[in-house]
Structure formats: C-alpha cells, structure tokens
Amino acid sequence: MQLVITGRVDPRVIQEIIARRPDLTLKVWNESGIISREQLLKWAQDADLMITMLTERVDTELLEHAPHLKIVSNMAVGFDNFDLDALEKSQVLATNTPDVLTEATAELTMALMLLVLRRLRSAEDALRQHHWTGWEPDGFLGLELYGKTLGIAGFGRIARSVVRRALAFGMRVIIFTRRALKDLPENVQQVSWEQLLESSDILSLHVPLTPQTFHLINRESLSRMKPTAILINTSRGAVIDEQALIEALRTGKLAGAGLDVFETEPLPSDSPLRALPNVTLLPHVGSATVETRLAMAQRAWHNILAYLNGQKPPDLLLPRLWPEKT
C-alpha cells in the first residue's frame, strides 16, 4: 500500500511510520513550497492512504484521480479544504487533527492582541530604522489589555483556551455562540451577536469556515463595531470580507486588526493590507511551533494507523461511513 504525504513533516514521524509499518510505500513532498495541483493529482493515482495539508483541496477531481484511496487524513483542525459530500460519495474516510494545536493558536491570538494594542510593530520598526532618538513620555503609546472587553465569536477548544489567558490578563470576556453556555466563570458572559459587535474592544474570531460563517465579518457587522475596536483573526481568512475590512481600516471605522489568515493565501503582493499601518500581518503561523507541528503530524498518522489496524480512526469526520467500511 502507498502512503502519500503532501508536505514536509517532522522526521520523527517518518521514522515512526517506517518502524511501525515497513510494508508501506512512502511518497513525501519534501520540496520547498506547496505541492502543485498537477503533481498532487499525479501522486493520487497510486495512493491508498493520504496525509494532506490544509493547502490541498480534496474534491471530486482529486478523488476521480485516486481510484485506490481509502482514507485521507488532514494535518489541520479545519477541514474546509475537504469536500465532504464528494468524500462520502466516493466512500473515502476523512479525518482531521483537533486538540493538538489549541494552545499554540491561543498563544498566537494573545500575541496578536498585544502586537496591535501596544503598537509593538511600529516601535520595533522605528528602532531598526534608527528613528528612535530616546525615551519620550508620549512615545509609542499603546493600550493595555487589562480592563478591556474581549469579544469571542465561537466557543470551541481554541476559544476556551483564549478565554483562560484573557482572564489572566484581567480582561472581561463576552462570547457569542449559538448553543447555550452554562457555569461560565466570573467576568465571562454569553451575549447576542449584536451585543458582541457593539461592546467588544477586541473581537477575536474562532469559528470554522462554513457557508454560514463565510464573510461573517462584513460591512454591516463592521459598522456596528466601535471605531476604537480591533479585530483578530486566527481562524480562516474568508470569515472576513477583506475588502470591507480594508475600507473600515482606511476610513477610521475600525482602529486596527491582527490577521494570521487571509481570503487568498499566500497574501497577494498587491493586497492593500500590506500598506496599512494599523494592521499586523502574519503568514498563517497559528500552529507553527515545533511541539504542535510534531503533534499534528503524529495525530494525522495515528488516524491512518488506526484504520490500518482495523480500528475506527479517532478523528473521523464522516462516522457513518465506518460501519460500511468494516
């Protein structure tokens, strides 16, 4: 059987695969950059098993090129790159990697808040470009997290981890999610979507990308936010209408933003976001720690290994397919 891995993973995971299943033929994309669509479709032709990155679309086209494919394991918690209907129609199992990137992404969310509110990027730029002439009482003034109201859209694992950190910073937290929440800690309150937009000093997005959350942040929602507010996004880029965000940032309707994800990745060279001084941009590094990327690759492989051992993969996205497979 052939296992295709569409991106570079920690060598320890490759060693484990070889040690535990020496019968597998491995094909790993170890080149710089992401695998091309043409190469991916070519490799899929002989693939029985696949570990994919979030950059690879697993859709009808790919599945038609992969007649032997039995399971595809996404090395990401999100799976908006998967066409679940096409996978179900093709009877191909699919998994993701929840839990393991929670803490790393929550840490980065807090880092973006600090970068934007404390104006750390412009302060460092001034220092590096020899514009800093010494301490001044009004130099590089920013804002504190302490006492601010943090709005959280969505309340999954990452959002809950962000809340724990925000409370440690002395923030008040308000949450919007469609399910009723019980036993919330002190200084945490569930609110309506309108209240979230209107009351947040910082709004942090933690929702999956679905047809319902596509452009969740748009001109209408931005118009409800305080002009002093900032927006943080470590979820998926298309949750925000980028053109509407750019307009709000340019016209002062929103004070700032910290973005780790974008509608188009990599961010186009001509994107107006690059020129805005009130935006901090990061290249999708929410899970980019040695510990987390190792854990993600291990979890993706362990889902494959469970399947090979005749066990139900722990992170199965289409569990109704499992009885048919067994």
Catalytically active residues, by annotation: 236, 265, 284
Q: What is the DSSP string of 34-88?
A: PPPHHHHHHHHTT-SEEEE-TTS-BSHHHHHT-TT--EEEESSS--TTB-HHHHH
d(CA 151, CA 226): 12
Q: Which amino acid is at 301?
A: W
Other C-beta atoms within 10 Å of 179: how many? 7
- Looking up tokens 């990061």 gives 282
d(CA 114, CA 93): 41
Q: CB within 8 A of 301, min separation 6: which ones?
A: 13, 16, 17, 51, 73
Residues found in the chain? 326
Q: Choose among 171, 168, 169, 157: nearest CA to 203.
A: 171
Measured N-to-C along each axis, helices 157-168 and 102-117 cross at an angle, to the nearest 10 degrees, of 50
d(CA 180, CA 12): 42
CB 201 within 8 A of CB 149: yes
Q: Choose among 203, 185, 302: nearest CA to 255.
A: 203
Task: Tell me the CB-side half-sphere exposure of residue 211, using CA atoms within 13 A.
Answer: 1
- The kind and range of the H/E element at 62 are helix 60-64
Q: Choose among 256, 257, 265: nearest CA to 236.
A: 265
